[in-house]
Structures are given as structure tokens and as C-alpha cells.
Amino acid sequence: MLFNIKKSSEKPRPKRRGVTGFTHMFLLSHKDGSITFYYTGKRSNGRMRLLLLLLAVVFMSVIRPDNAVAAVYGRADMSYQKTTSTTAGQTAESSSLSQGYSLGFNHALTSAITIAGDVRWSMYDTGTKQTEDVYPVFYLTYTPPSMYYLSFSYNRNEYIPPGGDRIAISNMNASFALPLEKWPSLALSYNLSTTSDYLYPHKIDTETENKNLNTNYNIIFLETSANLNYSYSDPVTKDNVAKTKSETPSHQVSANLSRPFWDQRIQTGVNIGYNQAENINESLGAPVQFEQKITASDGLYLITATPAIGALASTPALIDNNTGASAGIDLNGINRNIGLRFATAESVHKINLYISTSDPNIATYVNNSPTYFGWQLYISSDGTNWTLFGTPTASYDAAYSRIVFTFTETSALYFKVVNTLFPAGALTINVTEIEAIGFFNSTPTVKLTSVTKRDFGGLNISFAPITRLSMNYNINYDHSTRDVSRFETTGVNQGGGLSLIVVPEYLNLTTNYTTSTTKSSRETTTGQTSALEAGTNSYALSLSTTPLPTLNASLNYGYNESLTDGDVSSTSNSTSGNIFMRLYKGVNLGLTSTLSASKDLKANSTTDAASHSANLNLVPWRPLTIVVNGGISDSATQQAGAETHSSGKTLNANLSYTPTRSLYLAASFTIEPTSSQSYSATWLPTRNTQVSARYGSAGNATNMGGDFSWTPIYRLVLHIGYTGTQTDNMTHDHSEAIFASASLNL
Amino acid sequence: MTCIKRPIFLFIALFSLIFISCEKLLVEPSLPPSSSTSRLLLYMHSTSFTPPDITFVISDIKLQAEDDRWINLADGPIDISAAALVDRQILLKEAAVTPGLYKGIKLTISTAYMMGRSGNVNFALPQPGGEVALKSNISLKPRDSFVACLAWNPEKSLEKGYLFQPSIEVEPQIPSARELLLFISNSASNYISVIDRSLERVIGAVTVGDRPMGMVLNATKDRLYVVNSGSRTISIIDTTQFFVLDTIQLTAGIEPTDIAIIPDDKNSIEGKLYITNRLSNDVTVVSTTTKRVVTTIAVGTYPSAIAADTVRKEIYVTNKLSNNMSIISAMDNSLVANIAVDNRPMGIVVGKDKLYVFNEGSNRISVISPSLRKVVSTISVEGPPRRGMQGFSDQLFVVNTAADTLTFLNAQDVATRTIPVGNKPIGLAGDEKRNRLYITNLGDNTVSLIDPIGERKLKELFVGRSPYGALLLER
């Protein structure tokens, strides 16, 4: 039996609704013929049922007294982490303590039946919030001959998102699968996941349901291998707060056939597949307009005190789908003009601005924007002359770390937000991404359905008439349509290659060719049609030789061109050669030279570049390895009649030294382009102890760290560690992190 | 599932009793689970780099228990050649042994000789009966794996020019510095092999669950998470002392294979694990803090490989039978995009501002921009490409599993050379400090060591059955 005893405490204790429903869990696992049962009881009956569990174990053990002794195991896991960082005189601290303890037993009643139980208690404390959960589990395993796989399970856990309230997540799963090697082949799975907070009314309350069916057959008939697959999936997401539901039932069928001919000299393969998915968006309340993200063609940014006039600089980092890295923009000043541009005019009603900051007051600043930011929204048709649209409503979405601007839907080619104020004293607020949101449907509706159909396939042929020659050709296509917004895309890739051993060991030739074309079109939110055709062509040729065991070389050529709407938009080609020599025992040298030329026809620029690099690997004696890498590069770019040059050097070395099994020393030096160095040492004074220390410096930053691991007794491991960084600047920024962990395994 | 009332509990107990009593009516299972034995891996290497050309044959190997009983480990013959052992290690025997303390190993040598100009010169054998007794201190715990290395010095193995008295020392399993370790998951066994990259030898083994496949390290590099596809669990291994700290039961998904991690923070011990499930077409998300399943995310058909970008906080999954790859946002564990690639995508690598998807069915690598979320170029290779990695100044290394080869591509994505490696190469790991590339060979139970600059194979290490994943620890 499984009992879910729930206990949580928060500082301070907020009012909350009663605990949602059930805590029973029943797991039946039948893997290669084994069945496992888990069962839980409600909290109020937990202790009684645990007692009944123990009695059941004792009773079953009594029946088989020769197997009365059960194997007991226990695990304890604790980790603590504290981070302190000081930037520009302001200090931010965070800490977390995680503990997990489990105690279990298992007992083989017979050769086919095993009884086992496990109790796991986990606690997570971040200093201001604390969560505790207890998960006792009891299961019975039955292992008959391999017939089928069956499992049911339920579990529940909680987490605390940054700046948010405690979130409870529960999962119920059911799986059934027949062994792959048997007929029929069938795999079914069902998952129901609920996520909700403890507020009333809820801010987060979603249910996600996944149903999946998969059947797969491998058939061999008259030298033909065939794989046939059908799969069905139906993910459903219900948002009880927004009162919306989305469902995407999808069917896919695919076939792969392969057959050799002429004594395996010719290998052929064909694949074909079809997928149809229906995207159903439903309002569970009044008719609504469903939202969609509108793809921008460029991000824009400039600091200017005259937002009504002037073009912004192209900033692709704002729309690179990366909310983890700063786009080089901060909000710690006024007149930040941050925007985006579309290929054609789009109707937008919301803009999300993703940020990254460790300031604990960010929600207050954003939710009181008229006081702290003073946001204004501008639109434009040419990117130079801007019209003030108004003051958007700004709110902070902690779950996604973003500022959400909402305003009356309007159409334009360019959008931007500008802050006229900024919160003085705030820690650095970096902007990472911007995105625009529009509506799928212009008039509110209760249900919106779109169907996406995709068909794909390909052919692959390889021919090796003799062992020294092989050729291959392949072609693949992919075509998909979606009725809403009349989206259609067709892609065709094809390529071929040849590999020839001209003179064994002395000359090998490899060449290949690839071409790809993608055509796509869609209807914009303003009813216009946007179409795009893109393609690439690539050629490559390589000659390689290994005349001696201590010498090899290769010469390579590659050409690549990109096409837009059928016209070549850019080209690049490169010629490179590399040679490797084993100069002496323990002395290896590799040299590479590359000449490349690229042309951007749209920007009317050409770039010629040359680079030369060397790799020296020294092993003067077995415990010591030295690797030295160096290189020089030079490039010249011509654009609009002007020529710019750039050159670079790289030089670095890595040393690693292991004089004994218990000592390891390493050092890395970078001399070019910028100087840096790092050292590390690891010492094992005993077989149960390991100590390591690290030190490094790069520019005006110094970092150091160390950790200590100790296993005083069998299955008990202790770790402590420290990492620190100091920056030699005006404000003496520094950060430190310490961690400690202990794990005990009985 | 709703509340299950008390009568159900009685039903479960009764059901259990029925099974217990009807046990004899059931067909016997194929093999009972072995929870009380240990695994002993006996390796041998030579300590000499310029040895005399001595060869000897081991006819059997015995283990001496604490109570002086001799347990037979292997019946030979096993040929040992000093020349073949130069800078190499061989696996003498992998044996299931009763847990306990073992204080000796005995080798019985049937023949010893040296190659001479006019033929083999036979040596006299140690007495009695060609037996060589070695002292050892091997402590085997239940379900543990243990590596014992026999270090042979051929230069000190001849007495008086005619008597073969091998100088062999038993090196028990001891840890090496964490920064030197390479972990290999042996998917047809249930243990992980641990290799010291400086010694280039197997030095340890860790018993995990059934059919270990994908592996991933946490951000602080002190915990190794291993997906056990057969037992549907994740083993958490301490990287300093080579033992299992804990086991996470995967309660969702069918046939988990590959794994990736998004740490909670840059230097955080904890994070979220993402595991692909081949037969249920989804990805299971597990919290390392609570060690419980958080959610499952539906992806394409037959997810074959997974990779993580910890800066973007995105997860990339290739789907073998739907010819596409899925992008999952780790911020809210939602599917954000599906991108069509070529036929049978089986591997994926996160490079610098690029993703490389290896399409085994079309001899092509799709290069994808994660910013634009589309294929920006394709690379044809001799193929068929299955897995790969990027490193050593932006070179790309591609294993062609069906062709038993490894292809090198330079920084301009042009293939420069293809060399043969072992049988069915599949996993890759690269050590830039030592200029070494490690390839696991599923078909011949070896790991190939490759010089990535010289584009040549250096040697092979013997590990467990069907080595699948390779992961090295480097800080």
C-alpha cells in the first residue's frame, strides 16, 4: 500500500483551500512479465494503513517462514547551496537546502514473487519557502514468463517557481506494451498531469492529458526488410483559469523498405509517411479570439531621446528564440527603444519582453510601470517615422520572466516600446527577447479548428561494385499544409556522393553534392500572402593520403551557395589542407591551412579570409601530456567600395600531469587573443578522500574554487565545495558559492 | 485513479496469497533475478613498454576465499603476449562471484615461450604445476561490480634465463581523480565501466539497472545519471567513489533510452532530467530534487536521441519515424516547434549556434539554426551517419554505425577522411586536453581511442557487452 502524507509549511502561513482530493496511488508494473502494485491511502488514514501494510508483510512472511528475513535498505541525501553576488555595490544572496530520506525493504517470497516497500521523505527549503512531502510506497512484483508490460502509477510533488507561489503537480500514468518481437505489436500510454497553485481563486490551474498508441512491425520477406508503423497521439491541455482548452489529435503512418541487390553491392531504401493533425482550440466560457505568436523578421534597438523620428539598429539577438542570453540591452536607463519588424504588416495586441534580473523587486517595478518605467508604445510603416500609439498596460509574468504589454489590437509593419523612466537603485535588468502576439481569428469564436497535413518520403540508393568504390544517391521530400492562415511548405533535399580508393593508402577521393529547396507561403493576420523560397547547393571534394604510418594529409574543397526566391543570394567556398606528422615518439604535429571566400550578393559584400593553425601534441613521458594550439587568421571585407581588414592570433597550451595514481595536475594557458591562465590540482591522499583546488585569471577577473570529497565509511559520501570570482573593477564585483552535500546508502 | 477503499486492500492481500499458493502452477521464469551475487572483472595489462617477446598460456584462474576455498573463475586457455599487451589492457574474465572477501588469485600456466630465430623457446614453468599465487585484497559486496587489474612486468618474469616466474601484482579497484574519468554504459550488461583517461585503462565498474544506455552529468560533475532501459529506472552514481547513491523509478513512458539535463542554476547540484521514451513517443521530465516524475511531453514518433542547450534552456529531440526533430522549452516543459529533417534522424549535437541532426536513412546531416528554427544547410557524408560530436576547433566527428566507420569534418563542414573503427560504433566523447576521441563499439564490446588531429585509430579498450554511451568528466 502507498500512503501519501502531505505536510507543508510556509513563512508566513497563507490561507489556502483544502488539499485537492486524492492521494491514493496504485502502480501495477508488468515488465517482461512482472507486476508491481503500489497503493496509497488518504492522509487521515495513513498511519493505520501503514500498520496494515506491515501486518500484511509479516503475514506473508509467516506463510513462507524460510523467506522471513527481508533485505532492508535506506538512503539519505542532503545538499546545501548558498550563493552571494555583489555587483555595483549591491549584494544579492540566495540559499537552498534539499533533503531526501528513504527507507525500504524487499523480500523474495518465491522465485517469482517479490514484496517490497519504500518510504521517501523530501524537504526543500529556499530560506523563505519550505516544502515537505512524504511518499510511502509498497509494491508486489510478479514475474511470470515474458508476455506483456503493464503499469499504472500516480505521483505528486510540489515546487516553488521564482517569485511565485507553491505549485502542486500530480501525474497519473498508464502504460501497456506487448513485446516487440511478438505479434501483434502494440504500445499504449496514457498520462494525466495537473498543475495548480494554492491560491483562491487560482492563478494557475491546468490539466494536460496525453494519449498515445503505437504499433510497429518489422518484416523480412524475400530479402526485403520492411518497417511499418502507425501511431496516434492526442495531447489535450485545459486551462481552467483562462477557460480554454486545446487538443491536437494526430495520426501518423510510415513505412520503410530496404532491399539489397547483386550480392549486397546495391543497397536501396524507400521511406514514405503521412501525418494528419488537428489543432482544436476551444473556449470553455464566452467566445474568444485565440492567440498566436507572430514571427518577426528582425529585432530593433536604439537609445534615443527622440523616439518619434529615426531608424533603430538591427538587433537579431532580440528574436533569436533565446531567453537565456542577454541581447545586449538593459533597462537601467531611460529612452530604451526596443522593437521588432515584420515582413508584412501584422495585427498585434500584445508584446512580450523577456528579461533577466536578480532584483527581487522586479515585479513591483513592472506592475507599477507608470511610476518606475513610463512605457510608451510606438508604431511605424517605414521604421523611421514613428507614431505614438499610447501607453500599454504592463504586467510582470514571473513564470516566464517577462513583461507583458497589452493594448488595443492594431496593424503595423514596425512596433516598439520605449521607457521614459527607470527604477533608480535597481539591479541590472537585461532584456533577452521580444515577441509579438496576434489573434488567429478576427472575430471571437467558441471553437477554432485547424488541420495540418504532412506527407514525407524519400529514396536512398548506394552502389559499391568493388570494395574500392562506393556511390550513393538520395532524395527526400517533405510537404505540409495547414488550412488556417493557408500555410503551405514544401521541401526537397537531394544529394549524391562518391568515394574511391584510387591507390590504397596513398590516395583516396571523396566527393559529394547536396541541394535543398524549401517553398513556403502563408496568409498574414492582415489577409496578405507572404511567400518565401529558400535553397542551398553544396559541393565538396576531398583527397586524402596516408603514405606512412607516421604521416597523413588531405586536401579539401567546399562550395556552398544560398538561394532566395530562386536567385543566388550568397556564396562561399573554401580550400583547406591539413597534414599530420608523427615527428618522433611522443611528438605529433598537425598543420592546417584554409583559404575561403564568401560573397553576400544582397549586401554586395565579399570577404576573403586565410587561416593557418597548428596542433602540437607532446608526450615526453607517459604521465605528462602537453597540447599546444596556435593559429593566425586574416580577412579582408569589401563593401560599398570600402575595404576593412581584420586579423587574429590564437595560442594556447594545455598541460596535464599524473605522476602517481593519487595526484593529478593540470594547467591551461591562453596567450592570444587575450591572456588567461588556469590551474587545477586533484589529490587523493587516501582511497576514500579526494581534494581538488582550482585557480584561474582572465583579464581583470580571478576565479578560484575547491572541493573536498570524503567517504569515511562504506556508502557515506560527503562533499563540500567553494567557487569564488573577483573582478578588479571600480566596484570590486565579486561572487561566491558554497555547497555541501551528504549521501548515505545503507 | 480515485480513492481505493479498504476492501481493495484485502483483495490485494488475497490476490497475493493466491499467487503464492499457486506458484507451482505457473511456468517457471527463464532466469531468476540475481540479487545476491557480485561481479568480478579481471583485467591484465603490461607495465613494460619495451618487453621481451614472451608469451604464456593461462589454463585456469582461481579465486581464494577468506576460508581458503578456491573458486574456479575461468577455464582457459587464455593466450597472453607481452608484445600484444604493450600499452594495452585485456579483459581476462567477467565472472559472477559470491560476495565476500578474497585474499588470493591463482593462475595456472600451461605453457610459456619466447619467439626465437629458429622457433619457440619454451621456458620452465613455476612449480607446483605451473601455478602462480598472487595476493589480493578483494572485497565484494552484494550486487557490486569490482575491477581487479593484474599488472604484469615481462622484464622481471624470467629467472636464470629459463624459468618463467611471472611478476604480477594485483591492483584492486581504486578511484582516480574525477577529472580523468570516462564512463561507458554497457547496454547488454547491467554495469558502467569506468576508464582512467590518463592510464587509458578500465579501473572500475558500477552495477546499475538492467540495460544502461544514456548518461548525463549534473552541473557540479559529482553525480552521474544513467538511464536503465530494461528496468525503467535511473541510477544516480557518485563520481568519486563509483557507487550508486540512489535509484529513481520511472513511472511514465515505455522504453526509456536517452537522457539530458537542464541544471536549476549554473553551479547547481540539482536540475531537471529529460528522458526519451521510444515506444510511447514522449519525453519524461524528472526532478532530481524530489526524484519524481514531473510531467511527460508528447513529441514525434520513436524519439531516438536528445540533447540540451543549458543557455537557451531548450531540449532537442530527434524522432526516427516521423523524420523530424522536436524543440521543448525547459521553462515551461512545452513543445514549441517541430522541424522537418531527413530520413531516420538518429542523433543530435548542440554546436555553436547550430544544431547537427544525423539522418541515418539519407546519408545527410541537417544543420539547423535554433534561432530561426529551421534547417539552414545540409551536409552529405559517406554515411550512414548516426551520432556525432563537435570539438577540437569546431571539427565534427560522425559515427556511421552501419558502415563501422568514423568520418572527420573540418570547421567548414567538409568531410576530410573516413576511417574504420570497431563493429557498430555508436557513442562518442572527446578529451581536448589530451587530444583523444573515444568511440564505443556496440558490436565488439570495445572502446576505440582515436587521435582527432591525426585522424587515426590508436588502440582499443575492452569493456562490457554492447557499450552504448560514452561520457567523460572534465572541469
Instruction: Please name the residues between 301 and 340 in chain B that touch chain A, using a CB distance below 8 Å.
Output: 301-302, 309-314, 321-323, 331-332, 340
Q: Is A56 a residue whose pLDDT tops 60? A: no
Which grid coordinates belong to B230?
A: 530494461
SS3 breakdown of chain A: % helix, strand, coil, rounded to 5? 5, 70, 25
Rounded CA-CA distance B318/B338 in Å is: 10
DSSP code per residue over B156-193: G-EETTTEE--EEEEE------GGGEEEEEETTTTEEE
Rounded CA-CA distance A547/A545 in Å is: 6
Is position B45 within any domain?
Answer: yes
Q: Is A714 a residue whose pLDDT tops 80? A: no
Rounded CA-CA distance B240/B262 in Å is: 22
Q: Which of A157, A593, A678 to mutate to test the interface with B (most CBs of B within 10 A)?
A: A157
Q: Which of A57, A99, A107, A456 to mutate to test the interface with B (most CBs of B within 10 A)?
A: A456
Number of independent structural domains in chain A: 4
Rounded mean pLDDT, A84-88: 85
> Residue B18's pLDDT is what?
44
* B32, B269, B364: residue with CB nearest A493: B364
B364 and B433 inside one domain: no
Is position A711 within any domain?
Answer: no
Rounded CA-CA distance B347/B344 in Å is: 9
Cβ <8 Å between A476 and B343: yes
Q: What is the pLDDT of residues B7-48, one digit of tens each?
A: 444 444 444 444 444 433 333 232 233 567 899 999 999 998
Which grid coordinates belong to A434?
A: 521580444
Residue B313 CB neighbours (<10 A) = 18
Is position A724 within any domain?
Answer: no
Q: What is the pLDDT of residues A507-519, one digit of tens each?
A: 999 999 999 999 9
Rounded CA-CA distance A479/A501 in Å is: 38
The verdict on B84 touching A (C-beta cutoff 8 Å) is no
Instruction: Report chain A residues whose CB lies below 8 A from the CB of B417.
Output: 508, 542, 544, 552, 554
A2 Cβ contact list (under 8 Å, min separation 6): A24, A25, A26, A27, A38, A39, A40, A41, A135, A136, A137, A138
* A214, A664, A739: residue with CB nearest B220: A739
Q: What is the pLDDT of residues B465-475, one digit of tens each?
A: 999 999 998 77
For B174, the closest chain A residue by CA position comes to: A687
- Residue A36 banded pLDDT, cuts 50, 70, 90: very low
Instruction: Report chain B residues whose CB lies below 8 A from the CB of A590.
Output: 453-454
B366 and B395 inside one domain: no
Is position B212 within any domain?
Answer: no
B238 and B371 inside one domain: yes
**More confident of the two residues A664 and B76:** A664
A435 and A459 inside one domain: no
Rounded mean pLDDT, A575-583: 93
Rounded CA-CA distance A225/A206 in Å is: 44
DSSP A443: S
* A113, A180, A682: residue with CB nearest B23: A113
Instruction: Please name the residues between 552 and 581 in chain A that touch chain B, using a CB distance below 8 Å.
Output: 552, 554, 556-558, 560, 574, 576, 578, 580
Beta-sheet strand order (sheet of B303-309) = B303-309, B314-319, B324-329, B334-340
Is position A347 within any domain?
Answer: yes
DSSP A686: S
**More confident of the two residues A440 and A194:** A194
**Per-range mean pLDDT, top range of A146-155, A509-518, A734-743:** A509-518
Phi, psi of A65 (to 5 degrees): -60, -25
> Residue A525's pLDDT is what?
65
Is position B199 within any domain?
Answer: no
Q: Is B388 left (phi over 0), alpha (psi -120 to 50) or beta?
A: beta
Is position B129 within any domain?
Answer: yes
The answer to whether A255 and A273 have CB atoms below 8 angstroms apart is yes
Cβ <8 Å between B342 and A271: no
Q: What is the pLDDT of residues B86-97, one digit of tens each?
A: 889 999 999 999
The verdict on A741 touching B (C-beta cutoff 8 Å) is yes
Residue B68 CB neighbours (<10 A) = 8
The answer to whether B398 and B427 have CB atoms below 8 angstroms apart is no
Cβ <8 Å between A60 and B20: yes
From A476's Cα to the closest Cα of chain B, the distance in A is 6
Q: Establish whether the linkage from the previous residue to A465 is cis, with ω within 30° of 0.
A: no
Secondary structure class of B16 (helix, strand, coil):
helix
The verdict on A149 touching B (C-beta cutoff 8 Å) is yes
The verdict on B457 touching A (C-beta cutoff 8 Å) is no
From B178's Cα to the closest Cα of chain A, the distance in A is 8
Q: Is A109 a residue whose pLDDT tops 80? A: no
Of A645, A662, A685, the residue that ends a domain is A645
Which grid coordinates belong to A296?
A: 518577426
* B302, B340, B380: residue with CB nearest A513: B380
Rounded mean pLDDT, A694-717: 90
Cβ <8 Å between B343 and A171: no
A500 and A377 inside one domain: no
Rounded mean pLDDT, A543-554: 92
B109 and B50 inside one domain: yes
The verdict on A110 touching B (C-beta cutoff 8 Å) is yes
Distances in Å between the alpha carbon of B31 and those of A376, A502, B26? 72, 53, 14
Which grid coordinates belong to A524?
A: 498574414
A299 and A257 inside one domain: no
Q: What is the pLDDT of residues A244-277, one digit of tens each?
A: 899 999 999 999 999 999 998 999 999 999 999 9
Global pTM reads 0.88
Instruction: Please name the residues between 275 and 294 in chain A that touch chain B, using a CB distance below 8 Å.
Output: 275
User: What CATH number is attached to the domain comprising B131?
Assistant: 2.60.40
Q: Is the dihedral of CA B223, A80, A93, B313 positive or negative?
A: positive
> Residue A423's pLDDT is what?
92
- Residue A68 banded pLDDT, cuts 50, 70, 90: very low
In chain B, the percentage of residues whose pLDDT exceeds 70 is 93
B454 and B474 inside one domain: yes
Q: Is A567 a residue whose pLDDT tops 70? A: yes
Q: Is A115 a residue whose pLDDT tops 90? A: no
DSSP code per residue over A294-342: EPPSEEEEEE-S-TTB-PPEE-GGGGSS-TTS--SEE-SSS-EEEEEEE
Q: Is B107 a residue whose pLDDT tops 70? A: yes
Taking each helix axis as running N to C, give the angle between helix A46-63 and helix B6-21, from 0 to 180 degrees, rounded to the nearest 10: 10
Instruction: Report chain B residues whose CB lies below 8 A from the CB of A208.
Output: 295
Is position B274 within any domain?
Answer: yes
The answer to whether B421 and B402 have CB atoms below 8 angstroms apart is no
B254 and B334 inside one domain: yes
Phi, psi of B123 (to 5 degrees): -105, 155
The verdict on A675 touching B (C-beta cutoff 8 Å) is no
Rounded mean pLDDT, A149-177: 73
Is position A739 within any domain?
Answer: no
Q: Is A414 a residue whose pLDDT tops 70? A: yes
A447 and A482 inside one domain: yes
Rounded CA-CA distance B279/B47 in Å is: 48
Cβ <8 Å between A111 and B29: yes
Q: Which of A54, A191, A248, A569 to mutate to test the interface with B (most CBs of B within 10 A)?
A: A191
Cβ <8 Å between A157 and B294: yes
* B199, B373, B393: residue with CB nearest A613: B393
Secondary structure class of A721 (helix, strand, coil):
strand
A64 and A117 inside one domain: yes
Q: Is A334 exposed, middle or buried (0-12, 13-18, 19+ CB in 10 A)?
A: middle
> Residue B196's pLDDT is what?
94
Is position A702 within any domain?
Answer: no
The verdict on A259 touching B (C-beta cutoff 8 Å) is no
Rounded CA-CA distance B225/B238 in Å is: 9
Tell the residue number behind the cell numbers 508488468, with chain if given. A30
> Residue A28's pLDDT is what?
40
Q: Which of A545, A658, A688, A711 to mutate to test the interface with B (most CBs of B within 10 A)?
A: A658
B348 and B386 inside one domain: no
The answer to whether A271 and A461 have CB atoms below 8 angstroms apart is no
The answer to whether A517 and A489 have CB atoms below 8 angstroms apart is no
Rounded CA-CA distance B427/B358 in Å is: 13
For B32, the closest chain A residue by CA position comes to: A111
Rounded CA-CA distance A138/B159 in Å is: 63
Is position B200 within any domain?
Answer: no
Q: Is A348 a residue whose pLDDT tops 90? A: yes
Instruction: Report chain A residues whose CB lies below 8 A from the CB of B177.
Output: 658, 663-664, 682, 684, 690, 692
> Residue A148's pLDDT is what?
66
User: What CATH number is attached to the domain comprising B263?
Assistant: 2.130.10.10
* A588, A627, A739: residue with CB nearest B269: A739
- Count of alpha carbons within 13 angstroms of residue A368, beta-carbon side: 9
B340 and B290 inside one domain: yes
Phi, psi of A561 (to 5 degrees): -135, 145
Alpha helices in B286-429 (DSSP H): none
* B255, B340, B416: residue with CB nearest A491: B340
A252 and A299 inside one domain: no
Q: What is the pLDDT of residues A350-372, one digit of tens each?
A: 999 999 988 888 999 999 999 99
Rounded mean pLDDT, A201-214: 89
The verdict on A495 touching B (C-beta cutoff 8 Å) is yes
> Residue A111's pLDDT is what?
63
Cβ <8 Å between A690 and B240: yes
Q: Which of B176, B380, B457, B475 to mutate to test the interface with A (most CBs of A within 10 A)?
A: B380
Candidates A664, A583, A680, A683; CA nearest to B199 is A664
Q: Is A663 a residue whose pLDDT tops 80? A: yes
Is position B8 within any domain?
Answer: no
Instruction: Please name the residues between 408 and 447 in chain A that touch chain B, using a CB distance below 8 Å.
Output: none
Which grid coordinates belong to A625?
A: 601530456
A451 and A473 inside one domain: yes
The domain in which residue A295 lies consists of 291-439
Distances in Å between the alpha carbon of B447 and those of A397, B21, B200, B440? 49, 49, 11, 4
DSSP B33: -
B156 and B45 inside one domain: yes
The domain in which residue B74 lies consists of 38-171
* A77, A193, A682: residue with CB nearest B295: A193
Instruction: Report chain A residues whose CB lies below 8 A from the CB of B241.
Output: 688, 709, 711, 717
Q: Is B147 a residue whose pLDDT tops 90? A: yes
Rounded mean pLDDT, B152-158: 91
Instruction: Report chain A residues whose CB lies below 8 A from the CB of B254.
Output: 149, 175, 177, 187, 189
DSSP code per residue over A510-555: EEEEEEEEEEEEEE-TTS-EEEEEEEEEEEEEEEEEEEETTEEEEE
A383 and A409 inside one domain: yes
The answer to whether B398 and B409 have CB atoms below 8 angstroms apart is yes
The answer to whether A636 and A672 have CB atoms below 8 angstroms apart is no
> Residue B127's pLDDT is what?
80
Q: Is B387 a residue whose pLDDT tops 90? A: yes
A661 Cβ contact list (under 8 Å, min separation 6): A684, B174, B176, B199
Is position A563 within any domain?
Answer: yes
Number of independent structural domains in chain B: 3
The answer to whether A557 and B414 have CB atoms below 8 angstroms apart is yes
From B240's Cα to the closest Cα of chain A, the distance in A is 7
B226 strand-pairing partners: B215, B235
Which grid coordinates belong to A389?
A: 500609439
User: What CATH number is attached to the domain comprising B430?
Assistant: 2.120.10.30
Helix (H) / strand (E) element for A51: namely helix A46-63
Is position A258 within any domain?
Answer: yes
Q: Is A344 a residue whose pLDDT tops 90? A: no
Q: What is the pLDDT of residues B220-279, one digit of tens each?
A: 888 999 999 988 889 999 888 888 888 888 888 889 999 999 998 777 788 999 999 999
A188 and A50 inside one domain: yes
The verdict on A168 touching B (C-beta cutoff 8 Å) is no
Q: Is A42 a residue whose pLDDT tops 50? A: no
- Residue A123 banded pLDDT, cuts 50, 70, 90: confident
Of B322, B354, B376, the residue that ends a domain is B376
B341 and B411 inside one domain: no
Of A623, A645, A667, the residue that ends a domain is A645
Calculate the average pLDDT of chain B: 88
Instruction: Report chain A residues whose CB lies below 8 A from the CB of B49.
Output: 622
- Residue A62 banded pLDDT, cuts 50, 70, 90: very low
Of A405, A421, A439, the residue that ends a domain is A439
Secondary structure class of B3 (helix, strand, coil):
coil
From A66's Cα to the closest Cα of chain B, the distance in A is 13
B54 and B130 inside one domain: yes
B57 and B122 inside one domain: yes
* B295, B378, B412: residue with CB nearest A558: B412
From A737's Cα to the closest Cα of chain B, the distance in A is 8
* B17, B251, B454: residue with CB nearest A552: B454
Q: Is A4 a residue whose pLDDT tops 70? A: no
A424 and A303 inside one domain: yes
Q: Is A26 a residue whose pLDDT tops 70? A: no
In chain A, the percentage of residues whose pLDDT exceeds 70 is 84
Is position B209 within any domain?
Answer: no
A277 and A341 inside one domain: no
The verdict on B454 touching A (C-beta cutoff 8 Å) is yes
Of B361, B376, B391, the residue that ends a domain is B376
- Residue A601 banded pLDDT, cuts 50, 70, 90: confident
Is position A623 within any domain?
Answer: yes
Candidates A156, A154, A10, A466; CA nearest to B252 is A154
A29 and A170 inside one domain: yes
